[in-house]
Structure 1
């Protein structure tokens, strides 16, 4: 079987090969005192290694290749950063390699030293056609190992998301309230209408709402007008009044409404229509303007969830899906699953991002605790891991699973995964 260099990195790092009577390819005795530290940046693969060749103790770098000739293919022979390589570890020695100064580079060949069982285990991971490489083995991995690595992947996921938050924060000159407003608006669109909601939040600042915080009708007019739903002719009194109110407010604040065509209604249940979501969003603004400040002070999950419950949605939406005609009664409140989605994807994220940005562990800990108190997400990805025998108790674990699948399983990075490494060690 042909395998990538990463496999040899694993074999060298964890010394997963036969150590008996080690010798270089020139028949000199070899002892590995320290394999060194894996280098994920440019330069030799391992640094700070210590080895003994014959009677000489060496300290420096180790370079790993499938074949000795790869040294030449990669042009290391003209790269000064490789002059401090003290050992060339290869699967197959097919060429004599010299340093720039003309000295022969010592080589350890691993071709007949890697256990067949390890290679077979590696093949079983990388050649699998299942949803993720270790689907058949993960149930046998100690829960502590799995949970420890999911903690790492969860933090990786939130670090990436935090970068997006900080980019927006910088664009808005450090305004956390406005940044939070934009992200929670996007969250209200969920997957289908996330982009229209994001564009909507950029078209009208929440500071405009603050000037009308005591007038729910004006806030509703601002929301639906900016979203583009108040153009055309209406037969009912409520949209007619909204249209008239927005005509004045639009001119006052120089608002440029969105094109109504960007909103998606197809293949959605009525309670998920963008018109219903916008009505809920307007009610949230009425109930709690400048949400970020409130989120930062509320410490328990129940109180955070209550911010999004019992919203004062206009009675009109109890019998309407849109402005055109009356319909069968529909719930106007945000469902528990949707609220949990908002708490996970916006509230927890901003607690984490704020903690990172201000170097305040208190907020990071609050974010993690919130994730631990939220139910696990249920989707096609988490379902596959549950079927494979994994226990996913909360959103902390399910978020870790999503990052694990995207950044490790899908990219076959089992050799960088704590779970994959454990499985290989069991070979």
Structure 2
């Protein structure tokens, strides 16, 4: 048979086997009152089980193996934490097992009690070579059940991301504004240039921009100069002005510019060039210097979207994608999709993280509401699930899908997935 112990855990946990006239391997009558609780830590597999063997009521732990000899292979015979195991559940009983005190351990053999179609369903999920194990079956699961599990995976995803936020927060001595600024900067890189943007944020802390909030040209000079784009020779007035301002600011703040070579332009649409993104980033800083507190104050989704619209991007970029490279009809505002990406990956995350860290459920609720009001992401992963029959109405669902794919589907954890369990239970 092609299955692991996890499959037998599932079978025992959900009582997915034939209960008719249960007996131990020694022929004693067996009745299961409670199968116990799955233990994900060290020790026996299930705790606090209650069973009747013969006429005796037993309460304790249950250990599960493919073969009874696995008890010896795992060295349980010398581990006192297994002394209170009251039942050994196995697929095959190939050897008699005794406790440390010499008493024979009762055994329940499941080999002839698990339905063949259940094993086949399990093998179909785990042996599939498609994009995700249940690609052919997920469309048969009620959407309500899928949504319920996606709620769990979404929370898992944001809790994991919150750990990264808190780690940065601790590094910055509890400064939420600076932490938010770093994550916002990285988000502006949109994966391809995420690292250069993050390095830029570390090179020029937000508080430096605050000292020049009334001088847009100096803020733009700090952004482009620190990013490494002002080390060239220019003829146009705008880059010449930026370079002059930055030469003064660089000395004042001892700024070491990034190497311009780290910025990626290849295979990108001009609207996504890092120069355009940097111009938009500078404009956002000019528009709102205290980004974190501002976005934490706003509860209306439309207002949050408005904050990222109509940025005061310098008019130079209407006719340029890059310094010294003129162009016509350049779109200088952040597109709707990009704005939603920032709201999803930075604002919603920080609402959740701040709520978790401070114990303020209001912010967590606002994070969820924001995700529910943002459109679902469209990418290679979500498209596969949509094609398989999953409905994704908003970013809450699509974020849940991304977590599902990475931490359940890709790792073949169908037996820990509410959707996979539902498929196995279906007649």
Q: TM-score, normalised by structure 1?
A: 0.99
TM-superposed deviation, 1:239: 0.9
**Can you list the C-alpha shifts for 1:73-92, whole angstroms capped at 9, x where unaligned?**
10000111111110000000
Partner of 2:243: 243
TM-superposed deviation, 1:133: 1.1
Q: Which sections of structure 1, spanning at least 5 residues, go unmatched?
A: none
Q: Tell whether 2:32 aligns with 1:32.
A: yes
Q: Tell whether 2:410 aligns with 1:410.
A: yes
**Can you list the C-alpha shifts for 1:40-88, whole angstroms capped at 9, x where unaligned?**
1111000000011111111000000000000101000011111111000
Counterparts of residues 120-135 of structure 1 (less than 5 Å)? 120-135=120-135
TM-superposed deviation, 1:237: 1.5
Partner of 2:219: 219
Partner of 1:387: 387
Partner of 2:186: 186
Counterparts of residues 283-322 of structure 1 (less than 5 Å)? 283-322=283-322
How far apart in 2 are the matches of 1:334 and 1:391? 28
> RMSD of the TM alignment (CA)?
0.7
How far apart in 2 are the matches of 1:329 and 1:394? 32
Counterparts of residues 235-384 of structure 1 (less than 5 Å)? 235-384=235-384
Q: Which sections of structure 2, spanning at least 5 residues, go unmatched?
A: none
**Can you list the C-alpha shifts for 1:173-222, whole angstroms capped at 9, x where unaligned?**
00000000000000000010000000000001110000110110000000
Partner of 1:426: 426
Partner of 1:204: 204
How far apart in 1 are the matches of 2:174 and 2:312? 31
Partner of 2:175: 175
2:97 aligned counterpart, secondary structure: coil
TM-superposed deviation, 1:328: 2.3
Partner of 2:86: 86
Partner of 2:398: 398
State the aligned residue count: 427
Runs of 4+ with >4 A deviation: none
Partner of 2:107: 107
Partner of 1:117: 117
**Can you list the C-alpha shifts for 1:218-257, whole angstroms capped at 9, x where unaligned?**
0000000111111121121211111111010011111111
Verify the 8 A CA contact 2:51 2:59 in the aligned structure 1: yes
TM-superposed deviation, 1:93: 0.3
How far apart in 1 are the matches of 2:14 and 2:331? 58
How far apart in 2 are the matches of 1:245 and 1:422? 63
